[in-house]
Structure 1
Amino acid sequence: MNKLDVKGFGLAWGVLCGVGCLILAWVAMLFDYGTEYINLVGTFYFGYAATFVGGIIGLIWGFIDGFIGGAIFAWLYNKFAK
């Protein structure tokens, strides 16, 4: 069975989550869609809001959160797949 690259998997999930947060914040800013989700996530991603700067902050928080979550997932997968 193949092992997952922990750093690579973490980076992939970090980029995916970060860009997702950025796009959602900018869509909420432009079209007033998804603002409830932005407000909910903004309670633990400090500074995340439906604004241009809030989207950039969400990109950073999403990357950090996605990287940690992806790395933990890959590490656990490698441990259990032996």
Structure 2
Amino acid sequence: MKLDLKAFALAGGLFWGLGIVFLTWWLLLTRDKRGRGNRYGELIGRIYPGYRVSPKGSVIGLFWGFIDGFAAAGIFGLLYNHFAKKT
């Protein structure tokens, strides 16, 4: 069975991008009373340029997360299709 690469990559991009959005809003809702986020937000900011734990940061995270998830799912789909032919 062969994967549709475009559909699989789009699904991976949406899944990862929306995951970053939901994580950002979770961090916003659960941060401490001083307004500080936590280390997860700092880690994501080191990976995705321009990202901060903020509403604007969730949009930036959606963009970078979509690109990241799209590429990862696309590569996974290519590898899957390559190895599925051999069996």
Give the TM-score normalised by structure 1: 0.92
Give the corresponding residue for 1:4.
3
CA-CA distance at 1:12 after TM superposition: 0.3
CA-CA distance at 1:30 after TM superposition: 1.8
Structure 1 stretches (4+) deviating beyond 4 angstroms?
none
Give the corresponding residue for 1:20.
19
Q: Sequence identity, in percent?
A: 48
Please give the root-mean-square deviation of Cα atoms over the aligned residues, in Å. Answer: 1.4
> Which 5+ residue runs of structure 2 have no aligned equivalent?
none
Give the corresponding residue for 1:58.
61
Give the corresponding residue for 2:80.
77
What is the CA–CA distance in structure 1 between the aligned matches of 2:66 and 2:74, rounded to whole Å?
A: 12
Q: Deviations over 1:26-45 (max 9, x none)?
A: 11112118731121121020
Q: Which of 1 and 2 has greater Rg?
A: 2
Give the TM-score normalised by structure 2: 0.87
What is the CA–CA distance in structure 2 between the aligned matches of 1:12 and 1:54, rounded to whole Å?
A: 22
What is the CA–CA distance in structure 2 between the aligned matches of 1:44 and 1:55, rounded to whole Å?
A: 14
